[in-house]
Amino acid sequence: MMSRLPENSPLTYRLSILLLFLAMVSISCWNGSPAELAIPVDYHDPSEVRSFFENVEAQHPDIARLETVGFSVRGEEIIALVLSDNPELNEQEPRVRLTGTIHGNEIISGEILIRLIEELTGRYGTDPDIKNLVDTRYIVIIPVMNPDGMWDGRRYNDHDVDLNRNFSTAFVPGGSHGDVAFSEPESAALRDYSMDKNFHLSATFHAGTVIVNLPFDYARMSTGGDIPLENDLVWELGKIYSMAGTFLANPDILADPDVDDGVINGGDWYIAYGSLQDWSYVEKGCIDITIEIADYSPETEEGIDEVYAYNRESLLAYIDAAGLGVSGYVEDGGGNPLPGVAVKVTDGDIITHTDENGWFHRILLDGEHTLEFSLDGYISATETVTAPGVLPSPVILTPE
């Protein structure tokens, strides 16, 4: 057989194989199919996150509930796992949102949240501290905010938009920010989901360096730009994360003169417009911080374990910190709960609202504060409170 082939056969054969290979690669790019090899095997890709959630929900139906946040540009589902006792109910518990992989290539940021879920559910039955944490909080974990970007191993979504520049606070249109705020289905979905849930505390995880980055991203505080009026409280929460466990022992921590105990106001590091954390703070009265957990995503199981170990105590301490402050109820004079009452501290800028049961929770530094309660059609009221604590009786608002 071999002797009957033309002289140039091996070369022709190799060229044909090469051309066939190139054609397959091109077709794969043209039809937009996921570049699955971008995700190392030790990570959960978006479809594996779903199977993992389904399994957790089946194993722990009393404390775990899978929810859909929305869908990506390519129609990939963005999913959340709710962890709480009675996860299907709106109980009067501090609400925490933890989000990963908003930048699709920073995949360690979602994988440590998977590790956290494994720990919270795996130890719920045997560790009283873990059980108490899950029972007394409403914890929502969204490991993959940008599934299209994760499949493709890239920062942006499928419209080339950086989702962490597409929120409406200090939004600047154009380029990778998007033409208008919430132009992207992923950011709009997180907005709507968060409007519905009324989170009190949240964090979004990244992998560009190691630092706890606080609002505001849009202004440089050290040169006179806007600062959160409740910056002391925001710093307290940032330090609860950075000072717990071994976070500060990470040798890759950001070197910057404005860093203190591993914490910095975002704009003092670099200015970013339209970020999720600024939107959460300004529009939702939710203290939201951005946590850079590693300067790259390690490929191996051991590398993931190492990053998780640097953050494990911090994650637990931060979820626990959602319980700081004061909670209570607001009613009208007839004993009816008042939903939608704005609750703020005098001289503060974090505005939280009562839920449908008239219940509010306001994260505060320990000590005495004056809270202001206001609702259209009612005479506003103030109340002196001591944190931590629970108001012994409802605040009463009288109709105008």
Question: Which CB sits closer to Zn ion, 106 or 148?
Answer: 106
Cβ proximity of 272 and 339 under 8 Å? no
Per CB under 5 A, the segment of 202-210, 296-304, 329-337, 350-358 that binds Zn ion is 202-210
User: Restricting to residues 213-252, which ones interact with Zn ion according to CB under 5 A?
Assistant: none
- DSSP letters for 177-209: G-SSTT-SHHHHHHHHHHHHH--SEEEEEE-SS
Of residues 64-103, those binding Zn ion (CB under 5 A): 103
Site map 304..333 versus Zn ion, x via CB under 5 A? ------------------------------
Closest separation in Å from C-beta 206 to Zn ion: 3
Alpha-carbon torsion, ordered 348, 324, 242, 107, to 10 deg: -90
Residue 345 burial (CB count, 10 A): 23
Site mask for Zn ion (CB under 5 A), range 103-122, x = bound:
x--x----------------
| Number of residues in contact with Zn ion under rule CB under 5 A | 3
95-99 and 138-142: which strand pairing? Answer: parallel
If we measure between CA atoms, which residue out of 18, 97, 4 comes closest to residue 318?
97
Binding mask 26-45 for Zn ion (x = CB under 5 A): --------------------
Q: 292 forms bridges with which residues in the sheet? A: 206, 211
Do the Cβ atoms of 226 and 218 come closer than 8 Å?
Answer: yes
Is 247 or 378 the residue whose CB approaches Zn ion more closely? 247
Question: Angle CA(51)–CA(55)–CA(57) in degrees, nearest 5?
Answer: 115
**Whose Cβ is closer to Zn ion: residue 103's or residue 220's?**
103
- Which residue is at the shortest CB distance from Zn ion? 206
Segment near Zn ion (CB under 5 A); pick from 23-31, 165-173, 203-211, 381-389: 203-211
Q: Return the range that interacts with Zn ion (CB under 5 A); candidates 142-150, 206-214, 266-274, 311-319.
A: 206-214
The set of residues, in sequence order, having a beta carbon less than 8 Å from that of 76 and lying 6+ positions away, is 46, 147, 148, 151
Closest CA to 313 of 112, 60, 143: 112
Per CB under 5 A, the list member of 44, 60, 95, 206 interacting with Zn ion is: 206
Show Cβ contacts of residue 59 under 8 Å, excluding neighbours closer than 6 positions: 121
Q: Between residues 250 and 352, which has the closer beta carbon with respect to Zn ion? A: 250
165: contact with Zn ion by CB under 5 A: no
Contacting positions for Zn ion (CB under 5 A): 103, 106, 206
